[in-house]
């Protein structure tokens, strides 16, 4: 019988955390341990441990943990109410991560997988120039800055303690149960409402939750993963217009997309105080995952078409708002 390795997953109530735990439950040799700020609702036989990144004294017990997947974070929000946004992000995403990593190293944890963000690289790419893992970071918002700083501190801890650190920087993540802007987009499409996004010729990388989780699981043991930083995507880049068309098809709805010129969209959005939203919808952000695929002998196991269909099916079955 294969010896089971205990894998602590922080942020266990989150979209990514839940998916990781569900996958680890199916993998032979792994025993997931869910870590969260508050007790979870009944969740099968998964062990639960409380933790709070904002309280260095409220760390989970780690003595029997072999690896950690750290997804918990203060996430990027559209309307941040914090007086000092960068300080708020640093408190959780940098100091909280450092506290956990130091405790993990002391407890003898062998590998620490940190889920960072493509925002470490910046907000957009030029045509034909995707982000690569070894590019010089250029974060532009407090969330991206905090993730970049956390990465640097983790590399310091790795050098000082020998604990293996793997960093993964995903772009937009979608999948069954996704929330935020992706869910809002599905709501609009499902209602058949028109959108002024029928002439956006950008390119965007995104990653299905199953593909992201597959890479995370691969990085837990792969000998080439330690000390590395990986980018991840579905391997297919789409324009915003094409994404909306594909998603509408998955929902079984017509895509009512008006061909409004990009400069008009951006000008109106700035007048309405929604310039950042227009920037994400209209600009390009692509990633090169060739290094990830080569070093880990990895390819995304789920096609983007299948991932979008699963996302749409879940939405249609569960979203009644």
The pLDDT assigned to 133 comes to: 96
d(CA 240, CA 187): 16
Is 214 part of any domain? no
Q: Is 293 exposed, middle or buried (0-12, 13-18, 19+ CB in 10 A)?
A: middle
- Domain span at 154: 5-169
Q: How many domains does the chain have?
A: 1
Active site positions, annotated: 143
- Give the predicted TM-score (pTM) of the model: 0.93
pLDDT digits (tens, 9 = 90+) for 206-227: 999 999 999 999 999 999 999 9
282-292: burial string, b at 16+ Cβ within 10 Å, e else: bbbbbbbbeeb
CATH of the domain at 70: 3.40.50.720
H helix intervals, 82-234: 85-89, 97-107, 142-161, 180-190, 209-219
Q: What is the pairing mode between strands 204-208 and 237-238?
A: antiparallel
Domain membership of residue 35 (yes or no) is yes
Query: How would DSSP label each residue in 253-276?
Result: ----B----HHHHHHHHHHTT-HH
Q: How many CA atoms lie within 13 A of 179 on its CB side?
A: 7
Take residue 158 and report the two structure tokens written for it. Answer: 């790795």
Is 317 a domain residue? no
CA–CA gap between residue 67 and residue 87 (Å, rounded): 29
Q: Which among 237, 170, 122 is positioned nearest to 16, based on CA atoms?
A: 170
Segment 94-132, tens digit of pLDDT: 999 999 999 999 999 999 999 999 999 999 998 889 999
Does 182 fall in a domain?
Answer: no
Average pLDDT over residues 141-160: 96
| 97 is a domain residue | yes
């Amino acid at each position: 019988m294969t010896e089971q390795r205990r894998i602590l997953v922080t942020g266990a109530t989150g979209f990514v955390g839940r998916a990781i735990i569900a996958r680890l439950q199916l993998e032979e040799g792994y025993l997931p341990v869910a870590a969260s700020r508050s007790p979870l609702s009944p969740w099968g036989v998964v062990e639960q441990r409380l933790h709070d990144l904002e309280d260095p004294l409220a760390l989970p017990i780690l003595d029997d943990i072999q690896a950690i997947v750290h997804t918990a974070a203060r996430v990027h929000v559209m309307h941040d109410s914090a007086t000092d946004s960068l300080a708020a992000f640093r408190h959780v995403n940098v100091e909280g991560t450092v506290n956990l990593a130091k405790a993990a190293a002391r407890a003898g944890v062998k590998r620490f997988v940190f889920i960072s963000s493509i925002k470490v690289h910046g907000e957009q790419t030029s045509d034909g120039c995707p982000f690569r893992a070894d590019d010089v970071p250029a974060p532009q918002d407090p969330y991206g800055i905090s993730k970049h700083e956390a990465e640097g501190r983790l590399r310091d801890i790795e050098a000082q303690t020998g604990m293996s650190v793997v960093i993964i920087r995903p772009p937009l993540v979608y999948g069954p149960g996704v929330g935020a802007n992706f869910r809002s987009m599905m709501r609009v499409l499902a209602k058949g409402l028109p959108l002024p996004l029928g002439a956006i010729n950008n390119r965007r990388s995104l990653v299905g939750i199953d593909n992201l989780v597959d890479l995370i699981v691969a990085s837990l043991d792969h000998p080439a993963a330690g000390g590395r930083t990986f980018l991840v995507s579905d391997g297919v880049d789409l324009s915003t217009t094409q994404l909306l068309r594909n998603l509408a098809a998955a929902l079984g709805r017509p895509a009512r997309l008006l061909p409004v010129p990009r400069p008009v969209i951006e000008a109106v959005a700035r007048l309405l105080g929604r310039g950042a939203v227009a920037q994400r919808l209209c600009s390009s952000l692509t990633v090169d995952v060739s290094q990830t695929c080569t070093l880990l002998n990895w390819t995304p196991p789920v096609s983007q078409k299948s991932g979008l269909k699963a996302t749409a099916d879940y939405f249609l079955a569960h979203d009644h708002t």
